[in-house]
Structure 1
Amino acid sequence: MEDDFISKKELLELTGISYGQLYRWKRKNLIPEDWFIRRSTFTGQETFFPKEQILARIDKIIHMKDDLSLDELADMFSPNLAESMIMLEDLIKQNIVSKATLDLFAQHFGITADAYPFQNVLYAYIVERLLVMGEMGLEEGRGLLQVLDSHYPAFQGKPCELIFVRKMGVSAFALAPRASELYFDNSVKVVSRLNVASCLEELKAKLLK
């Protein structure tokens, strides 16, 4: 369990960033407040971070801060959905979502338009991710769209995971709070677990290019 966390001292040494940078990024909401975890140690109180998450976040900040302002980065990392409408032409041109996936989306929801709300584009992007990975077929994509449309709004910007399972050839999808411990019988295959917040960040980054 201790390997899952890194102390502030170790983090600064490993990444080469300064104390001032770390707390400036915190103030600008590039690093969530709840990642700063105070713990008692033999030397007193010390700050720890979820290791995998903080290292990935700092790597992104370092590599993107020359191209984007800190405010733009904060918006990209925010778990809140953007309110903008995304042009269909831009999604295809930038190779963010394929026409096949957008056609599936239009057929499933019975809508066609030149632009879609960001939330709908996120659903299509998640479907695209699994299709491209070869994890899922188009018919399963319809079921995934239904689950996202019905249940993702209930999380209201809180982190969650998409869990995709199959049992005896029958697929199922579920949304669960981040890092939930889920247990299945031996006949269930966990096909994929996707961090929805990561998908959200990826989509925002692609749209900013």
Structure 2
Amino acid sequence: MTPDLISKKELLELTGISYGQLYRWKRKKLIPEEWFIRKSTFTGQETFFPREAVLARIQKIQAWKEDRSLDEIADLLSSVSTSVWKKSELIEGNVVSEVAFQWLEQVRGERVETVSHRTVLALLVLESLLQDGGLSQNEGKIVLRLFDTVTADFQNHRAQVLLLRKGGVTTAILAMDEGKIHVDPDTEVADRIQLAKCVEKMKLDLTDGGV
């Protein structure tokens, strides 16, 4: 199984929660339904979750439920995506660095005082790339422009931002779970071929008696 997934059994053992709690939190929308991933294994169908996301979410729920009801926690989680966040609060809370905001302001050509949930996500992607090292300022701006121009839903846990380099040229791609890709605004998709169609044609042609 891929390392970014965790089985239901391992999740329950690591967190100490029960099967009943897990599915109650699902019904209350504390854990997104799309995080419950059914996969075939040698023992049959099993349920897996995005490892880092679900462990962080359960840790937060366990901390919050000491003095909040499950309905209050659900309201807190749902309000995050519609909130506007102050630059000063994000920097002071060590959520986003001042450097990341400086790059964002250069991309937008204006001073930024508040940002949306979507922009916070873009800045966190930038922070992750900075921590990995080797990210140039120009490459960082490419990533920020990608988030500013693409309207796709980034909540899918399998969505990935890919930074590609060749011959001194860098481009960024957002790869979605359903096979869709989005590229940075300075890159044009010259052509797109669906491999499934080619595979089907190959099967038909090679079994049509001609070969």
Question: For this structure pair, what is the TM-score category when the shorter chain's length is used for normalisation?
Answer: 0.5 to 0.7
Q: 1:127 touches 1:145 (CA, 8 Å); kept in 2?
A: yes
- CA 40–98 in structure 1, closer or farther in 2 if over 3 Å, else same: closer
Q: Which residue of 1 aligns with 2:107?
A: 108
Q: Which residue of 2 aligns with 1:50?
A: 48
- Give 1:54 deviation, angstroms: 5.3
Partners of 1:62 and 1:92 in 2: how far apart? 23
Partners of 1:19 and 1:133 in 2: how far apart? 37
Identical aligned pairs, as a percentage? 34
- Greater relative contact order (Cα < 8 A, sep 6+): 1
Please provide the CA RMSD for this pair.
3.8
Which has more radius of gyration?
2
Give 5+ residue unaligned stretches, structure 2: 182-211
- CA 21–101 in structure 1, closer or farther in 2 if over 3 Å, else same: same
State the AA in 2 paired with 1:137. Answer: S
Q: 2:100 touches 2:123 (CA, 8 Å); kept in 1?
A: yes
TM-score (norm 1): 0.64
Q: 1:161 touches 1:179 (CA, 8 Å); kept in 2?
A: no
Partners of 1:142 and 1:149 in 2: how far apart? 10
Return 61-70 or 159-168, whichever deviates more.
61-70
- CA 110–67 in structure 1, closer or farther in 2 if over 3 Å, else same: same
Residue 123 of structure 1 aligns to a residue in which SS?
A: helix
Partners of 1:138 and 1:2 in 2: how far apart? 32
4+ long deviations beyond 3 Å: 1-6, 8-16, 38-42, 67-78, 156-159
Corresponding residue pairs, total: 175
- Give 1:83 deviation, angstroms: 2.0
- Give 1:145 deviation, angstroms: 1.1
Q: Deviations over 1:50-88 (max 9, x none)?
A: 25x25861464146522364456556776x972222112
TM-score (norm 2): 0.63
Partners of 2:124 and 2:41 in 1: how far apart? 42
Q: Deviations over 1:91-126 (max 9, x none)?
A: 221122222221211111122143222222322222
